[in-house]
Amino acid sequence: MQNHQSTGRSRPLQPSSRSSHPHGSARFGRPAAVLGLSAALALTATGCFGNSRPAPQETATALAGAISSGGYSTVSLTPESEDVPEQLTEALADLEDVERNVSVASAEVDGEDNDRATATLTVDWQLAGDDSDTGSDAEADTDTESSASASDQASPATATEASASSEAGTASDRTWSYETTAEMQWDEEAQEWLVALTPETVVPRLAEGGIVNLTTVPAERGSILDGAGEELMMERDVAILGLDKAQLEADDPEALAEAARQVAEVAGVDEDAFVAQAEAAGERAFVQAITVRNNGDTEIPADQLLAIPGGRVLEDTAVLAPTRAFARDVLGTYGEPNAEQIEASGGELEAGVEVGLSGLQATWEDHLAGTPGVQITIDNPDQPDTRESGTDGSSSPNATSSTSSTTDATPSAPDGPVFSTDPVPGQDLASTLNRRVQEEAEAVVAASDVPAGLVALRPSDGQVLAAASSPEGWPVAVSGSYAPGSTFKVVTALAMLRSGMAPGDTVQCPETLNVGGMVVGNYDGYPDVSVGEIPFSEAFAESCNTVFVGAHEDISAADEAEAAQALGLATEPVTGLDSAFLGSIPDDSTGTEHAANLFGQGVVEASPLGMATVAASVAAGQTVRPLFVTDPAVEAPAAPESGVTAEEAEQLQALMAGVVETGTAEMLQAVPGAPVLAKTGTAQFVADGEDLAHTWLVAVHGDLAVALFFNEGLGGGHDNGPVVRDFLTAVEEIIPSEG
C-alpha cells in the first residue's frame, strides 16, 4: 500500500518488551506518536468520580492513539492483556504500512458498576489501493481462499459493525471504517483505568491467534491503441515452458540438473544458466524457461517437454505487441523487473510485481494500470468457544474473566471479506502509430545487417507514425545518440541563411581546409566540377564539407544551437514518451570542435527521431514537436522565440530539393507522388582501431518526414538512399503524398 503522511499515520506494530506494574497492570510497546485525534471533541462524559477518580476519557484517548500508532506504552493494560500487543503485531502485519486514524466516540462509566467503563472508538483505515506492499497476485489469491471472517468471540453487535464496514468497501475513498468498543476496569490501588485489551478491541471479529489478511484484486490493464483506435499492445495468449520441481524427487540433485538441462535444450535457452536457476528455486517451484506466443504461428514443443520429468507447459496471457519487435522502442515492455532493473529503480520497482518497464508502458504506467481492488479478510484459528455467557444466552464482548465456558471446538466461518473495493480498470492509451507504416519500417530495419533505426512522422501535426529499430536491445530510433554527419548541414544552412547567406550566393569549396591544425576534406568521390567557386545551393546538394566548416568564423556555437532549436532539435522534448531523445547541441563549443560541429561531426549528437523532426520542421514551415500520444493530450512546449520562419523554411526546402534533383540523393526521383526533399549524411568514427562511418538520410515526401540511420556503411546516398526510396514508394500506397 502507499505510505501517506498525516497526523494519524500508523507506525508498524512492534513486539514489546514486558514491564511489570506494581499494581498488576502492564504497559507495552514503544511510545505512541503525537496524534491529531478528534477524541477531545467526542467525549461524552466529564469530571471525576469521588474526590480523586478521573473520568475514563483520558485512557480512551490514549488507547485511540496507541491503536493509531501501534505502540501501547501510554496505555495501562490489565494483566490478562499483557500479551495482546505482541499478538496484534503479528495479526496486523499486512496493515502495518496502512494509514489509520482512530477517534473516541464516547467514554462512559457503567451505570451499575462504577469500576467498569466502556469506550467506543471509530477506526478508519485509509487503503490507497497500491499493491506494492501486499505481495504478488498469487499470494493474494492464496490469502483470499484461506481466509475466514467470523470470530468465535464476535458479539452480535460487533458482527453487525463489521458487516456494515464491508458494505462501505465500495466507497470511492477506499476507507475501511468501523466502530469498536474497549472495556476498562478501575484499579483502586494504582488509581487509574486499565484497558482490557483484546484483538477484537482493535478489529471486530479478530480472535486470539487470528490474522487480518490484506490482499489485492488486480485491475484490468488498459491497452495501447494505434492512431486508428485499434489495439496494439494488449493481453495475448502465451505458453510458458518450464520445469515443475514438485514433480521431481527433492533429494535427487542429479535428476534435477539433468531434467533442467533437457528442458533448457527443448526451450532453446542457456542450459547452464537454467540449471543454476532451477537449483536455486524452491523445492516445489515452477521454474520458467521461456514464454512464447500461443497464437498458432509459433510451434510449441509440448510433447517434447512433457516427456521430460518435471517438464511442463502452462497457458497464460501477457501484455504484448503484435510481434516481439513491433515498435518496441515506443510501446515498451510490461512484466516483472529483473534484479538489475530493480536496483536501478531506486526502490520504485519490486520483485514479482508486474509494471511497465520501458517505452509508453513505463511512461504511462499510472494511466494504463488502473487501481487494484482490495480485500480484507480475517483468518481465525479453530478454537474452543470461551465466550462468557450472559443470562440471555448472549456473549459478553471483550470479557476479561469467565465464570463458565464450554470447550467445544468452534471453527470460524469463512463468510467472505469484511471489507472490499472493486478494482478500477486502467484506461486505454491512444498512440500516434500507423500500423501499416510501422510494418514497413520494421521490414526495413529487419533487413539490415547492422544496427538501424527509422522514424517517420507527419510534419503537419508532429505525430510519429512509425519508429523501428534493430536489433533488439538497440533502441536506435527514438533514443539513440549519434553524430548526424552531413544531415546536420540542414541546421548549419539555417544558421548561415540567418547570417546573410542566400542559396544563390557564391561560396568557396576547396578540396581541403585547415582549421587550427584540423584538416577537413570532402568525401571520396566528391565531383571535381563542384570544387572551387560554386553556388551555396550546389555546395548543399553535393555536400561540400569545406564550405560548411569554413563558416566557423561567421557562425557561433550559440547561433548553431539556436538554429537547431528552431528546427525542433530540443534537448528535452515533451513527446509523451519519457525515453525519447532528440539531440544534444552545445552552445559553447569553440575552435576545432565548433568547426567540426558544423558538418555534423565534433560533439553534436542526434537520434533518428531528432533528425526526422528537423526535416519535418523544414516541411511544415515552423518548429515541429514530435508526438507519440494523442489521448490523453500531451502539452507540447511552446515554439522557441527564434523558431524557423516560413521564409526560411522555403529556402531550406529549395536546398533539400536540389539534393534529389542534382545531388547525392538522385535515386529518390523514382519515388512516385510528390517530389522528395532530402539530405544525405555520413559521420566517421573509430571502433576498435577501425575507421567506420554512420550513414544517414533524411527526407520529406508530402506530409511525411523520414530519417533512416545505419550504424555502419559507406555513405548516406550509397546505403540509405535506395532503402528510403523503397520505403517511401511502399508508404505512398498507404498515405498518398498528393491530395
* Model pLDDT, residue 388: 36
* Model pLDDT, residue 349: 84
Amino acid in position 427: Q
Amino acid in position 207: A
For residue 627, the cross-strand partners are 463
Mean of pLDDT over the chain: 84
* Model pLDDT, residue 415: 56
Amino acid in position 288: Q
3-state secondary structure of 466: strand
Contacts 24+ apart (CB under 8 A), 676-679: 676/700, 676/701, 676/728, 677/615, 677/618, 677/619, 677/653, 677/701, 678/724, 679/486, 679/487, 679/489, 679/490, 679/540, 679/543, 679/615
Averaged pLDDT for residues 120-139: 61
Asked if the domains at 224-331 and 435-732 fall in one CATH topology, the answer is no
How large a percentage of the chain has pLDDT more than 70?
82
The cell for 132 is 506494492
DSSP assignments along 574-621, one per residue: -SS-TT---EE--S---HHHHHHHTTT-TT-EE-HHHHHHHHHHHHHT
Distances (CA, A) of 183 to 197, 240, 328: 8, 55, 62
> What residues contact residue 545 under an 8 Å CB cut-off, 6+ apart?
486, 513, 520, 521, 522, 523, 599
Q: For the chain, what are the domain ranges? A: 39-218+374-398+407-421, 224-331, 334-369, 435-732
**Residue 637 scores a pLDDT above 70:** yes
The cell for 48 is 471525576
The cell for 389 is 455467557
The cell for 476 is 536506435
Angle at 157 between CA 154 and CA 158, to 5 degrees: 45
pLDDT band at 173 (very low <50, low <70, confident <90, very high): low
* Model pLDDT, residue 157: 30
Range with the lowest mean pLDDT among 25-39, 418-432, 698-712, 714-728? 25-39
435-732: CATH superfamily: DD-peptidase/beta-lactamase superfamily (3.40.710.10)
Parallel, antiparallel or unpaired: strands 224-225 and 429-431: parallel
Torsion of CA 578, 583, 588, 590, to 10 degrees: 150
Averaged pLDDT for residues 30-50: 39
pLDDT band at 251 (very low <50, low <70, confident <90, very high): confident
CATH number of 224-331: 3.90.1310.10
The cell for 246 is 514438485
Each residue's pLDDT tens digit, 668-691: 999 999 999 999 999 999 888 899
**Residue 165 scores a pLDDT above 80:** no
Averaged pLDDT for residues 291-306: 88
Dihedrals phi, psi of 236, to nearest 5 degrees: -130, 155
The cell for 25 is 497492570
Amino acid in position 148: A
Averaged pLDDT for residues 48-52: 51
Strands (E), 524-573: 532-535
Distances (CA, A) of 210 to 133, 178, 182, 441, 510: 20, 18, 18, 59, 88
* Model pLDDT, residue 739: 64
Parallel, antiparallel or unpaired: strands 192-195 and 409-410: unpaired
Q: Report which of residues 388 and 712 the model is more confident about.
A: 712
Integer-rounded Cα radius of gyration of the chain: 36
> What is the distance between the alpha carbons of residues 136 and 131, in angstroms, rounded to a whole number?
8
Averaged pLDDT for residues 270-286: 91
* Model pLDDT, residue 95: 94
What burial letters (b/e) apply to 298-330, b meaning 16+ CB within 10 Å? eebbeebbeebbbbbbeeeebbbbbeebbbbbb
**Residue 395 scores a pLDDT above 90:** no
Each residue's pLDDT tens digit, 73-99: 889 999 999 999 999 999 999 999 999
> What is the distance between the alpha carbons of residues 658 and 530, in angstroms, rounded to a whole number?
14
Averaged pLDDT for residues 116-144: 60
**Residue 268 scores a pLDDT above 50:** yes
Amino acid in position 276: A
The cell for 677 is 526533399
3-state secondary structure of 134: coil
Distance of CA 734 to the CA centre of its chain: 34
Q: Residue 223's closest CA among 93, 322, 345?
A: 322
pLDDT band at 666 (very low <50, low <70, confident <90, very high): very high
Q: Report which of residues 395 and 572 the model is more confident about.
A: 572
For residue 167, how many other CB atoms are within 10 A of its CB?
10
